[in-house]
Amino acid sequence: MTDFSLIETLRWQPGEGFIRLRLHLARLSRSARRLGFPQPLGAAAKLDETVREATGPLRIRMTFDAQGRIEVTSAPFVPLAPDTIWTVRLAATRLDPADRLLRVKTTRRAVYETARSEYALAEADEVILLNERGEVCEGTITSIFLDDGSGILRTPPISCGLLAGVLRTELICARKARVGRLSLADLDAGAFYLGNSLRGLIRAKLIRN
């Protein structure tokens, strides 16, 4: 399978540099190894070259393919207001937990694009996907975190069929999140968040049809 590229989406901040850069590069290297891609040895240098003359926050998108080609694009980044609450809807599209490509971030995004297209942009800020067993997995561009009152966020295990998100990894390693299966009843009963490395944690509200 070589008809896709790996993706990393990063945020660059003046005075701080790339946010969670080590984790992004580690995931890229790990994914490349699992898929039989060459190692992305020039990734860090390519990123540095892209932001050499940057003066404001940037959203950085880096792709890496089976031939070892690295492409980086950038766009201005505007953060969400701290009190933002995203409206979330549930997709009819289901994920196959046996699909191991769901565990790596690639340009093969048809299942996520199909789920997102189930609702107009005005109807939902993000769309949540379940797997074929009815377990909560992830959003189309975010990981899911439940505040169950324990003081540690709960996030679905990779085995449910979902991406090992960089923010998710950071929170688990910092013991601010733990792995645990989630049901829709869990989301209905407790406060929950969506998040990714670009935007951090975002409070969410599920609207059931």
* Digit-coded pLDDT (tens) for 55-68: 999 999 999 999 99
Pair (89, 189) in one structural domain = yes
Q: Look at residue 201 and tell me whether its pLDDT is greater than 90.
A: yes
**Domain of 148?**
85-206
DSSP 180: -
Pair (139, 195) in one structural domain = yes
Instruction: Give the length of the chain.
Output: 209
Q: Which of 58, 76, 94 is the last residue of a domain?
A: 76
Q: Which of 76, 95, 113 is the last residue of a domain?
A: 76
Mean pLDDT of 5-14: 97
The pLDDT value given to residue 198:
97
Q: Which of 76, 98, 124 is the last residue of a domain?
A: 76
In a domain, 162, yes or no: yes
pLDDT digits (tens, 9 = 90+) for 126-137: 999 999 999 999
Looking at the structure of the chain, the number of domains it has is 2
CATH code of the domain covering residue 19:
3.30.470.10
Pair (98, 186) in one structural domain = yes
Give the pLDDT band of residue 111 (cuts 50, 70, 90). Answer: very high
In a domain, 68, yes or no: yes
In a domain, 1, yes or no: no
Q: What percent of the chain has pLDDT over 70?
A: 99
Pair (62, 120) in one structural domain = no
Pair (103, 176) in one structural domain = yes
DSSP 92-146: EEEE-TT-GGGGS-BS--HHHHHHHTTS-TTT-SEEEEEETTS-EEEESS-EEEE
The pTM score is 0.94
To 10 degrees, the CA torsion angle through 139, 85, 122, 114? Answer: 0
Pair (177, 125) in one structural domain = yes
Q: Look at residue 209 and tell me whether its pLDDT is greater than 60.
A: yes
Helices first, then strands: H and E counts in the chain: 5, 12
Give the pLDDT band of residue 2 (cuts 50, 70, 90). Answer: low
Pair (110, 68) in one structural domain = no
The pLDDT value given to residue 1:
55
Pair (22, 125) in one structural domain = no
Pair (95, 55) in one structural domain = no
CA angle 30, 171, 182 (to 5 degrees): 95
In angstroms, the CA 198 to CA 177 distance is 18
Tokens for 3? 């008809």
CATH code of the domain covering residue 156:
3.20.10.10
In angstroms, the CA 143 to CA 150 distance is 19
Pair (120, 49) in one structural domain = no
Pair (201, 141) in one structural domain = yes
Q: Look at residue 123 and tell me whether its pLDDT is greater than 90.
A: yes
In a domain, 44, yes or no: yes
pLDDT-wise least confident of 55-59, 148-152, 162-166, 196-200: 148-152
Pair (171, 94) in one structural domain = yes
In a domain, 128, yes or no: yes
76 to 10, 56, 64, 207: CA distances (angstroms): 12, 7, 22, 30
